[in-house]
Structure 1
Amino acid sequence: MSEWIYFFDLCGTAVFALSGALAAGRHRMDPFGVIVLASVTAVGGGSIRDALLGTTPVFWIRDPNYIIVILITVLLTMLLVRKPKKVPQHTLPIADALGLALFTVIGAEKALSLELGGMIAVVMGLITGVGGGIIRDLLCRQIPMILRTEIYATASILGGICYSLSIHLGAVDKQALVLAIIVALAIRLAAIKWHLSLPAFDLKTNKQ
């Protein structure tokens, strides 16, 4: 793993840990609950990805720096954010969007580094990007964002396609990485700002 990719992976871990910690604070969890929710949000998607790819032990077991980043993020969040419910409404979605973009590209890169095809890279990017958020939302008894109509998984898929296609066309790793992150992040932030969503599947049944 290159230094750039490792750096973005740690950044994504911190951002998703922040997302999980803020969600835990809004649900008035104790410090242990905050750590648990921040941890599963930060490493959940990547753990599922590594298990599916057979690259075990999973990344955070091989490199404890990820756990250190999570604990530092949780500590700073609990010290500096005294009233999570008063944090601006868009803070959590924006943090989640940034984590989604970062982890999407990391997941796609991991698949390509194992010489897997572009389609698998896009799928692994999606799993890495949304997996932790799904676990977080389920633990908070909320419908995961990937199952709602808002544009979420779509941003991850397009980011993964952008990265895979850029690499296929011969782009430098760093350039492909930054471009794909910008694409996924821009799409997700646009969806948040303008409330963009996909059409809902509404199955109507005949009333007896």
Structure 2
Amino acid sequence: MLWDILNIIGIPAFAISGAIVALEEKYDLFGLYVLGFVTAFGGGVIRNVLIGIPVTDLWKQGNLMLAALIAMSIVALFPYVWGNRWRKWILFFDAVGLSSFAIQGALFAHKIGHPLYVVIVATVLTGIGGGVIRDLLAGRKPAILREEIYAIWCIMIGVCVGSGWIASEIGLYTLLVTIVILRMLSVHYHWNLSIYRKYPSV
């Protein structure tokens, strides 16, 4: 049940974030759906390759593909609803997708017995994979490479789940909400890992 809920939350959230980026970059309808799909499923494909799960399992997710399609269609049908709030909507849905997919990746790797460092890597790649592909296709610098704190939240999830500190469903839902809040706070208050302040000439 938890696994299904994480998918239901994460895939439409990432699909919407990809679709909104496509709107912002003035992509056509085909580009909107392509960007939405790769954002929604890219992280899962990278995770499967990493920990040895057949990539063809993707084609068994028909219901989730339909959910992503519906989510993107809503964005396509009502583009002006998002208006000048595109960046805020992108950040919010990206945070939701990041958190839910990272938890899913951590659970996946932990369940099949991988050590903590593999769980952390699987968590990070599952959480950020779709967003990185989205940004690259949109000609943007990936969020993980910018000053904003992004992958750190995935690492926190990997440590919490991989070490067994958080295992109950209530604990995992709480972790999901906490990471979404922290991600949005990090953007609002400009928390970052910048090193340039030490080198004014750079």
**TM-score by structure 1 length?**
0.88
- Name the aligned partner's letter for residue 153 of structure 1: A
Counterpart residue number, 2:158: 160
Written as runs of structure 1 = structure 2, the 5 A alignment for 1:32-181 is: 32-82=30-80, 84-165=82-163, 168-169=164-165, 171-172=167-168, 174-181=169-176
- Name the aligned partner's letter for residue 130 of structure 2: G
> How far did 1:59 drift?
3.8
Structure-2 separation of matches of 1:202 and 1:59: 45
Structure-2 separation of matches of 1:76 and 1:123: 33
Counterpart residue number, 1:11: 9
Are the counterparts in 2 of residues 163 and 180 from structure 1 also a CA contact under 8 Å?
A: no
Counterpart residue number, 1:185: 180
Are the counterparts in 1 of residues 161 and 167 from structure 2 also a CA contact under 8 Å?
A: no
Are the counterparts in 2 of residues 159 and 183 from structure 1 also a CA contact under 8 Å?
A: no
Are the counterparts in 2 of residues 101 and 156 from structure 1 also a CA contact under 8 Å?
A: yes
Q: Mark the CA change 1:63 to 1:84 in structure 2 (over 3 Å): closer, same or farther.
A: same
Paired-residue identity, %: 31
SS class of match (1:90): helix
Deviates more, 1:27-36 or 1:85-94: 85-94
- Name the aligned partner's letter for residue 115 of structure 1: G
Counterpart residue number, 1:197: 192
Are the counterparts in 2 of residues 163 and 179 from structure 1 also a CA contact under 8 Å?
A: no
- Name the aligned partner's letter for residue 194 of structure 2: P
Q: Which runs of 5+ in 2 are unaligned?
A: none
Are the counterparts in 1 of residues 20 and 86 from structure 2 also a CA contact under 8 Å?
A: no
SS class of match (1:151): coil
> How far did 1:163 drift?
2.3
Listed one character per residue, the Cα deviations across residues 96-122 of structure 1 (whole Å, up to 9, x for unaligned) are 111111111000011012111222111
Q: Mark the CA change 1:169 to 1:152 in structure 2 (over 3 Å): closer, same or farther.
A: closer
Are the counterparts in 2 of residues 49 and 124 from structure 1 also a CA contact under 8 Å?
A: yes
> How far did 1:81 drift?
2.7
Are the counterparts in 2 of residues 122 and 164 from structure 1 also a CA contact under 8 Å?
A: yes
Q: Mark the CA change 1:59 to 1:6 in structure 2 (over 3 Å): closer, same or farther.
A: farther
- Name the aligned partner's letter for residue 10 of structure 2: G
Q: Mark the CA change 1:11 to 1:87 in structure 2 (over 3 Å): closer, same or farther.
A: same
Matched length: 200
Q: Mark the CA change 1:201 to 1:86 in structure 2 (over 3 Å): closer, same or farther.
A: closer
Listed one character per residue, the Cα deviations across residues 51-86 of structure 1 (whole Å, up to 9, x for unaligned) are 111211444212211211111111111112336552
Deviates more, 1:130-139 or 1:77-86: 77-86
Q: Which runs of 5+ in 1 are unaligned?
A: none
- Name the aligned partner's letter for residue 108 of structure 1: A
Establish whether residue 20 from structure 1 lines up as the match of residue 15 from structure 2.
no
SS class of match (1:36): helix
Moved over 6 A (4+): none
- Name the aligned partner's letter for residue 50 of structure 1: N
Structure-1 separation of matches of 2:133 and 2:115: 27
